[in-house]
Amino acid sequence: MLTVGDQFPEFSLTAVKGGPEGLKLDTAFIEMTEKTDAGKWKIVFFWPKDFTFICPTEIVAFGKIQGDFADRDAVVYGVSTDSDFVHLNWRLHHDDLKTLTIPMLADVKRELSEALGILSKSAGVALRATFIVDPENVIRFVSVNDLDVGRNPAEVLRVLDGLQSDELCPCNWQKGDAFIQLAA
């Protein structure tokens, strides 16, 4: 599995756009690469399958704080191994996903998931992996959950705040808290 300090892999995937454009067949799809949103921090999170139970709770939670990520010059991408058409259908038929503002990328060939090393060996789908990638395309944070356990997007935001501070952040540090100061 790729980890902190590694380059995030190159990719080219079709995505269903976030927002109202992502709900119309003629405007829903866009090609995205690692160069999309160049120069920004990226939060890239993976879920196993569309039309499941835990996944929409996470996707909606990331969507609800997408503006907080944007305030920190970060973009959020959601990815699964389902197709772009499955993503669109899910958005159209799941009330909580109709207002989603983040793109849903389709890693149908599993190339990005394999390059990152996050495919479940037993299920053949992406694990619940989350990556924070800096503007130079370097992975700065990785978290991977078992298929049955959802993650906490607020914790991802907290870690992003810590990474962007370029300071020493103690346990449970929150933006605005004091940093660890080394004695001179």
Residues with a catalytic annotation lie at: 55
Q: Kind and range of the H or E element at 142?
A: strand 139-145
Cβ-Cβ contacts under 8 Å for 55 (sequence gap 6 or more): 47, 48, 49, 80
Cβ-Cβ contacts under 8 Å for 142 (sequence gap 6 or more): 1, 2, 3, 4, 129, 130, 131
- In 3-state terms, what secondary structure has residue 144? strand
Contact between 140 and 113 under an 8 Å Cβ cutoff? The reply is: no
At position 113, the amino acid (one-letter code) is: S
Please state the φ and ψ torsions of residue 95, each to the nearest 5 degrees.
-50, -40
Cβ-Cβ contacts under 8 Å for 179 (sequence gap 6 or more): 165, 167, 168, 169, 170, 173
At position 82, the amino acid (one-letter code) is: D
